[in-house]
Structure 1
Amino acid sequence: MQLGKINLNLLSALYYLLQEQSVTRAAEKMHLSQSAMSKHLAKLREVFGDPLLVRVQGQLQATPKGLALKAQVAPLLDSVENLLHQQVFEPSLCQRTFTIATSDYVSEHLLPKVLGLIYEQAPQLNIELCNWDHTTNRLLHSGEVDLGMTLPPKDSTELHATTLGTDRLVCLMHQQHPYLALNTPSVADYCRYPHAIITTGADKNSHIDRYLQQQGFQRQIQFRASSYPATVQILSETRFILTLPAKIAQQLVKQRPLAIVDLPFTVENFEYSLIWHHRNHHDPAHSWFRQQIHQAMT
C-alpha cells in the first residue's frame, strides 16, 4: 500500500464504494460526479494494489481485500471525525488529575475555597498540591506539574501566565520585638536583627538582598524553613524578622502575637500569577480549570 498517496477524500470514497458497491450511488453520497468517483476508485486500486470491487453478473462486489478494508475503514473515519471535532468539555464528567505547585500559605488559606467551588462543578476531578521551589519551572516543562501559582516567569517562551493579583513586602515579628520601639527604623536597624526566610514559593528575597548589598548592608539570615507554621512559631519565641507578602502577614497575625511593620526602604510591589506550559494552552479541560482559579481569585 502506498500511504503517501492516500487522503481523507480517498478514504471517504473507499467507505462509500464498499458500502454501496456502486460507483453511481457512492458518487451521490459524496455529491460527486460519476466520473470523479470512478477516478477515486482507480486511485484506490493503485494505492491498495487490488481491484477492491469487481463486476459479477453485472453487479459490483467487493474482493476479499475489499471486504477486509470495509470492516476497518468505518471506525478509522470515526476516529478522524472525533479528532477533528472534539466534544465540548463537560466539567461534571472530567476525571483528570491536575497538579498545582504553590506555597504552603496559598495551599492552606486560599486554595480550599477556590477548589471547593471547582469541585461543585467537577466532582470527579483529582487535584494534587506540591510546594513551589526552584525546581518547579523544570516540572512545568516536563509536564509533572500542570499549574504554578507564583511570580511571573522570566524569559520563557514556553510558559504562559495570567496575573492573579499584586502584593507588597512587609516585616513580621513578635509584638514585643525591640525593633517596634524605634521611631523611624533605618536600613541598618533592619539588618541589625537576625532574619528568617521561607525557602519554598517564589524567590522574593534575592532582590531585597541585592538592594541591601547596593546600600552596603547585609541581612543575618539565621533561620530557614519550608513552611510558614514553623516560622511563625519561631517568630513568637525569638527576635527574628520575617519579610513576606502583606496578604500573608495579615492572616498570620490572627494566629500569633505578631506585628506587621513596613520595610524601612522602598521596593516595588510584585505580581503573583497562574503559570502553565504552552502544551496545555489550548487543552479544553486545562483551560476550564485555570479559568475557574483565575475567576475565583481575582
Structure 2
Amino acid sequence: MQYMSKLDYSNLDGRLLQLLLAVLEAGSVTGAAQRLGVTQSAVSHLLDKLRAITGDPLFVKAGRGIVATARAEALAVQARELLSSMERFCLSGEFEPARWQTTFTVAANDFQRDVLLPPLMARLRAQAPGVTLRVIPSDIPSLEMLRHEHCQLVISPRPPEGTDILQKRLFEDEYRVFYDPTQRAAPTTRAEYLAAGHVTVVYEPQRTLDLDQWLAARGVQRRFLVMVPGFAGVPPFLRGSDLLATLPGLLQAHLLRGLASTKVPVPCPTMPMYMIWHMRHQHDPAHRWLRAELEAVVAPALARAEPTSS
C-alpha cells in the first residue's frame, strides 16, 4: 500500500506524537491503546492519520505482531524531542510541580530501582500527582538511551562517556559477601573465599560486573558456578546452597533479605552510584526539580537499607 502525504504539518499534534511512541514501545495497537487509555479503533484511526502526514506505513506486520519501519524509528527520536519542547513550553515561567502532567522515564537496574525509586514515587504522589514514573532496565547504560530520549534519567554505577552527558554521584556502597547461614559459615579468610563456588551477575555477554573485573585484575580468581542477568536472579541460588555472592551491601534490605552477609575477606573497592542525564535537560526547571527530589530521598533510603555488620 502506498502512503501519500495528504495533510500538512499543521495537522500534527502532541497526541499523534504520543501515539507514535506508544505503538513503538508497546509493539502493538492493543498495547498502545491500553497505555493511552483509548480504544483500539481510536489508535488505528490516529495511526492512519499519522501515516498520511508522514507518507510512510510506519508499522508493518511481522508474524503475529508489528514492527516499526526505519522511518518510524527515526521519527520517534524527533517525537521525543518535540514532546519535550512542548512540555517546556507549557511549563515556561515558574515551575509548579502540582501542575506537571507527564510520564517520566528512569532507567535503573533492580538494585537502584528497589532502594531509591519507591521513596521517590512517594514524594511525587504528594507533590506532583500528575507525574507517572516509568521504570526501564538500564543494564549497561548507553549514550543512545539519553540522546534518543528512551529515558530522561539513568541511575547507574556506570555512566556512559559523552561530552553531552552529565552526571552526579548519589552515594557509595560497600560490597559484602552474601550466603545462606543454614548451609555454611561466613568465609573469613581469602582461602575460604576462593575455595567456594560463586554466583555473579552478567548483564551482557563477555561483560562482567566492574567488581569482578577489578578483583580478577588483582589476582583474585573465583569459581563462578552461576551467572544470572540481574541481581534478582541471585537469591534462589544462594538459598539452600553453600554458594557465595559478592554484591552491594544495601541489597540486604531488599532482594537479599533473609540471607546473611559479611565483609569481603580480600581488598575490595566501593561501588559508586550516579544519576545521569542529557545536557538538554540541565536547565529545564521540571527536570531540575525531579533530580533534586531524587537526591532528597537518598539519605533516608540508605539509612533504612543499611546492612547489619558482621
Normalised TM-score (structure 1): 0.62
Of 163, 170, 188, which aligns to 2:169?
163
Aligned pair 1:93/2:96, yes or no? no
Aligned pair 1:116/2:109, yes or no? no
Contact 2:116 2:297 in 1 (8 A): no
**Paired residue type of 1:260:** S
RMSD: 2.7
Of 180, 186, 189, which aligns to 1:185?
189
CA–CA separation in structure 2 for the residues paired with 1:156 and 1:115: 29
* Runs of 5+ consecutive residues of structure 1 not aligned to the other structure: 1-81
Of 133, 144, 151, which aligns to 1:127?
133
Contact 2:155 2:276 in 1 (8 A): yes
Distance 1:146 1:276, change over 3 A: same
CA–CA separation in structure 2 for the residues paired with 1:105 and 1:213: 25
Of 149, 154, 158, which aligns to 1:148?
154
Aligned to 2:145: 139
User: In terms of Rg, which structure is larger?
Assistant: 1
Distance 1:262 1:116, change over 3 A: same
Aligned to 2:210: 206
Q: 1:124, CA displacement in angstroms? A: 0.8
CA–CA separation in structure 1 for the residues paired with 2:127 and 2:270: 34
- Comparing 222-231 with 238-247, which one deviates more in the overlay? 222-231
Matched position secondary structure for 1:292? helix
Question: Aligned runs of 1:38-53 on 2, under 5 Å?
Answer: none
Of 215, 220, 234, which aligns to 2:223?
220
Distance 1:270 1:230, change over 3 A: closer
Aligned to 1:197: 200
Q: 1:128, CA displacement in angstroms? A: 0.6
**Paired residue type of 2:246:** T
Q: 1:152, CA displacement in angstroms? A: 5.3
Aligned to 1:290: 291
Aligned to 1:103: 109
Contact 1:101 1:136 in 2 (8 A): no
Q: 1:224, CA displacement in angstroms? A: 2.3
Matched position secondary structure for 2:250? helix
CA–CA separation in structure 2 for the residues paired with 1:96 and 1:251: 29
Aligned to 1:39: none
Aligned pair 1:249/2:252, yes or no? yes
CA–CA separation in structure 2 for the residues paired with 1:226 and 1:267: 22
**Paired residue type of 2:260:** A
Contact 1:209 1:218 in 2 (8 A): no
* Runs of 5+ consecutive residues of structure 2 not aligned to the other structure: 1-87, 300-310
Aligned to 1:53: none
Q: 1:161, CA displacement in angstroms? A: 1.4
Instruction: String of CA shifts for 1:222-270, please: whole Å, max 9, x gaps.
Output: 22223444321221022221111111124455x33x2101111122223
CA–CA separation in structure 1 for the residues paired with 2:230 and 2:268: 24
**Paired residue type of 1:231:** V
CA–CA separation in structure 1 for the residues paired with 2:161 and 2:119: 32
Normalised TM-score (structure 2): 0.60
Instruction: String of CA shifts for 1:186-228, please: whole Å, max 9, x gaps.
Output: 1x43222221123359x8833433433432x422222222344
Contact 1:98 1:127 in 2 (8 A): yes
Aligned to 2:41: none
Distance 1:151 1:108, change over 3 A: closer
Matched position secondary structure for 1:166? strand
Q: 1:109, CA displacement in angstroms? A: 4.1
Aligned pair 1:268/2:269, yes or no? yes
Contact 1:167 1:245 in 2 (8 A): yes
Matched position secondary structure for 1:199? strand
Aligned to 1:278: 279
Matched position secondary structure for 1:168? strand
CA–CA separation in structure 2 for the residues paired with 1:134 and 1:145: 14
**Paired residue type of 2:264:** L
